[in-house]
Amino acid sequence: MSENAVVIVAAGRGARMGSGRGPKQYLMLGDRTVLQHTISCFTQHREIASVQVVIHADDREVYDKAVAKHPKLLPPVIGGKTRQASCKAGIDALPSTLGTVLVHDGARPFVSAATISGVIAGIAEHMCTLPATAVADTVKRSLPGQTKIETVDREGLYLAQTPQGFLLAEIKAAHERAALEIDREFTDDAAIAEWAGMQVRLVQGDPGNFKITTPSDLSTAQQRTSNMNDGRTLPIDVRTGTGYDTHILGPGDGVILCGVKIPHHQSLQGHSDADVGLHALTDALLGTIGAGDIGSHFPPTDPEWKGASSDRFLEHAVALVAEAGGTISNLDVTIICEAPKIGPHRDAMRKEVARIAGIENLTRISVKATTNEKVGFIGRGEGIAALATATVVFGS
Ligand code: MG
């Protein structure tokens, strides 16, 4: 099968976005530009071999900053005065050995892999193919200077999207002819194909594949990207972190576990209060935001943390998660020790963890305990360990 290329047209000035914001394709959506999102939809698609971006002559520098290099990405070409001229520049830059080309708007960053595949499948049947959605609202025609409004029958009306797919040689020839023979501008490549007498076919489009044109489109797009990871949308961004800690037991009169002092003939030894429960929970929370571990935030060599009450560590991790936009869904910790007995203190420990984490619903806080069946250092009563899991929901 011949290889598929895509021309991404990103040479526009975005007049409808309002002044002073710069071309819309270079505005940020989350951690990357609109154009980078669009390009990634195609570089990640296994049926696309080459991506040719067409840019405005003034944008070379901003393009280099806005777009990451990728093996499928060809050096950008400079567009023309109109969208049609820019498409032609992109198509002309492609090696003629390629069989098929898709043309896509740079400001449609949410094109799905299914839409791209649908268009490619259409071209394989030797047809020009474009995705389109049926018009759902009643359509009115209101012309400037006329008071009369007309209702247009929406039967058979569709809204055209991109990518639009063609056999490369056919669309290239049609563009060449159109540039020579026609004065008016075509607003999409399918219109050129229709004019040239090529057979054009519609496939199911996707309402999510909208074009960012107005500030309102941009805020819709920004909302949508709050749940994105590497260009892919996560319906719900749920993250899980785990934590483990152990401290040795030495002489003393009690241990502090999950913020609760439990009388015992030994104490846990450590730089801080050696609360393995809160330490494991702190690491679990840090794990949900990729923020290192407790030792990187509170170095054991730092005298400030000597004898420190460990609720400060957990409070810090809770604050970092909140700053990252996370909401704690659940905290679960298991204490592993032969003694003291945890059961009688379980509820006090849950309440203390809930207080520190700012959680009201106690079903979201779990404290469990187990012995180590008298084996190993825990079994011999030399130390206590804790395992923790945190679940945090983002962007909802
Ligand atoms: Mg520790």
pLDDT tier at 209, thresholds 50, 70, 90: very high
Instruction: Report pLDDT for 127.
Output: 85
pLDDT higher than threshold 90 for residue 131: yes
Taking residues 23-27, report their average pLDDT. Answer: 91
Most confident of 114-128, 181-195, 249-263: 249-263
Ligand 1 centre and the CA of 242: distance in Å? 14
**For the chain, percent of residues with pLDDT exceeding 70:** 95
For the segment 70-86, what is each residue's pLDDT rounded down to a tens digit?
999 999 999 999 999 99
Ramachandran class of 107: left when φ > 0, alpha when ψ lies in -120 to 50, beta otherwise: alpha
Measured in angstroms, how far is the CA atom of residue 178 from the centroid of ligand 1? 73
* Per-residue pLDDT, 295: 93
With 80 as the cut, is the pLDDT of residue 152 above it? yes
Cα 274 to ligand 1 centre (Å): 6
Least confident of 33-42, 171-180, 232-241, 259-268: 232-241
In the predicted model, is pLDDT for residue 1 greater than 60? no
Q: Which residues contact 15 (CB under 8 A, 6 or more apart)?
A: none
State in Å: Cα 163 to ligand 1 middle: 55
At residue 176's C-alpha, the angle toward residues 170 and 177, to 5°, is 90
Tokens of 286: 């840090």
- Residue pair 393/326 in contact by the 8 Å Cβ criterion: yes
Q: How far is the CA of 394 from the centre of ligand 1 (A)?
A: 27
Q: Ligand 1 mean position to 275 CA, how many Å?
A: 7
Q: What is the pLDDT confidence band of residue 237, given thresholds at 50, 70 and 90?
A: confident
C-alpha 260 – ligand 1 centre gap (Å) = 16
Q: What is the pLDDT of residues 44-71, one digit of tens each?
A: 999 999 999 999 999 999 999 999 999 9
SS3 393: strand
Judge whether residue 229 has pLDDT over 90: no
* CA 99 to centroid of ligand 1, rounded, Å: 62
Contact 6, 42 (CB under 8 A): yes
Residue 341: pLDDT over 50? yes
Predicted confidence band at 303 (pLDDT cuts at 50, 70, 90)? confident
Between CA 370 and CA 339 the distance in angstroms is: 10
Average pLDDT over residues 294-309: 88
Mean pLDDT of 240-246: 98
pLDDT at 396 > cutoff 60: no
Helix (H) or strand (E) holding 190: helix 189-195
> Which pTM does this prediction carry?
0.64
Q: How confident is the model at residue 23 (pLDDT cuts 50, 70, 90)?
A: confident
- Mean pLDDT value of segment 25-37: 91
- Selected residue with higher pLDDT from 30 and 235: 30
Would you place residue 227 in the very low, low, confident or very high pLDDT band (cuts 50, 70, 90)?
A: low
Q: What is the pLDDT of residue 357?
A: 95
CA gap 331, 312 in Å, rounded: 17
Going from the Cα of 314 to the center of ligand 1, the distance in angstroms, rounded, reads: 12
pLDDT (mean) for 207-234: 81
326-336, strands of its sheet edge to edge: 266-268, 237-251, 383-394, 326-336, 365-370
CA of 385 to the centre of ligand 1 (A): 9
**Looking at residues 201-221, what average pLDDT do you find?**
92
- The average confidence (pLDDT) of the chain is 92
Residue 147's pLDDT is what? 87
Once rounded to an integer, what is the mean pLDDT over residues 102-112? 96
Residue 93 alpha carbon to ligand 1 centre in Å: 60
Question: Ligand 1 mean position to 310 CA, how many Å?
Answer: 9
90 closest CA partner among 1, 159, 175 = 175
> What pLDDT score does 394 carry?
83
- pLDDT value at position 361? 92
